[in-house]
Amino acid sequence: MVGQYGRQKELKFKDERKELIKSLKFQDISDRVLSAMERVPRHLFVPETMRHRAYVDSPLSIGKNQTISAPHMVAIMCDALDLCEGLKILEIGAGSGYHAAVISELIGSGGRVYAIERIEELAKFAAANLKGSGYDNVDVIVADGTLGLPEYAPYDRISVTCAAPDVPPPLIDQLKVGGKMAIPIGKSTQYLHIIKKTGKNGEVDRERKMGVVFVPLVGKYGF
């Protein structure tokens, strides 16, 4: 039961979310991505003790030394990937499930997100948050995401939400020709890269975007 107090709190979160989205408008984010983000209740993807900060544009701790990315970073990555209806997406680093929820909003019920997480407790956290918020086209899988997820390949888009030493080769193999990947690359200095697969033998175009700060990708082709 939500009750009067709970309802007031929900309205407060909704107002805070509106303000956050308004502030992101100044960062050159598309309206489509912004309205998707306005539909995702970020406060339900952070630990309860962090809820009061859910609509501040900053990363937050989700335990296990990991973080949920800042909203502007989720927005920039989603925008860069042109996430249209019906796409099949691979996310590496499910964390809280929030970024996957925003992707789910953008690809609609005809699309599917496979979100890999290496830490089992976080995978459970992400799956519960997604289910609790009504996202049923996202599967959370516990695995080493640097190996991709060959079972459902190829993917239209791949979104890596932790920083890699370089692009893991299996991820290029599992991307469709014409598909795109967003991936932070670097150790102490990191840059977001957009990789476009241009040929079936693994040819790619690489574009280096802005400097970013992500937790490390850990695994066979990670740190």
- Mark whether 61 is an active-site residue: no
Taking the least distance from each CB to ligand SAH, the nearer of 99 and 193 is 99
Q: Minimum distance between the CB of residue 208 and ligand SAH, rounded to whole angstroms?
A: 21
Q: Minimum distance between the CB of residue 114 and ligand SAH, rounded to whole angstroms?
A: 11
Catalytic entry in 23, 35, 61, 69: 69
Where does residue 111 fall: left (phi above 0), alpha (psi -120 to 50 degrees), or beta otherwise? beta
Taking the least distance from each CB to ligand SAH, the nearer of 79 and 117 is 117
- In this structure, the strands spanning 66-68 and 60-63 are antiparallel
Which of 108, 130, 117 has the alpha carbon at shortest distance from 218?
Answer: 117
Helices 120-132, 98-107: crossing angle, 10 deg rounding:
50
Taking the least distance from each CB to ligand SAH, the nearer of 41 and 95 is 95
Q: Minimum distance between the CB of residue 104 and ligand SAH, rounded to whole angstroms?
A: 12
Taking the least distance from each CB to ligand SAH, the nearer of 3 and 44 is 44
Torsion of CA 66, 191, 143, 154, to 10 degrees: 150
SS3 112: strand
Interacting residue ranges for ligand SAH, rule: CB under 6 A: 66-69, 92-93, 95-96, 98-99, 116-119, 122, 144-146, 161-162, 215, 217-219, 222
Q: Which two tokens stand for residue 198?
A: 């241009």
Q: Minimum distance between the CB of residue 99 and ligand SAH, rounded to whole angstroms?
A: 3
191 Cα distance to chain centroid: 16
What number of other Cβ atoms are within 10 A of residue 146's Cβ? 24
Residue with tokens 């990708």: 217
Taking the least distance from each CB to ligand SAH, the nearer of 198 and 223 is 223
Helical ranges in the chain per DSSP H:
3-24, 31-38, 71-80, 98-107, 120-132, 169-173
Report how far apart the first and last C-alpha atoms of the chain are (Å, whole number). 45
Which amino acids are annotated catalytic? Answer: 69
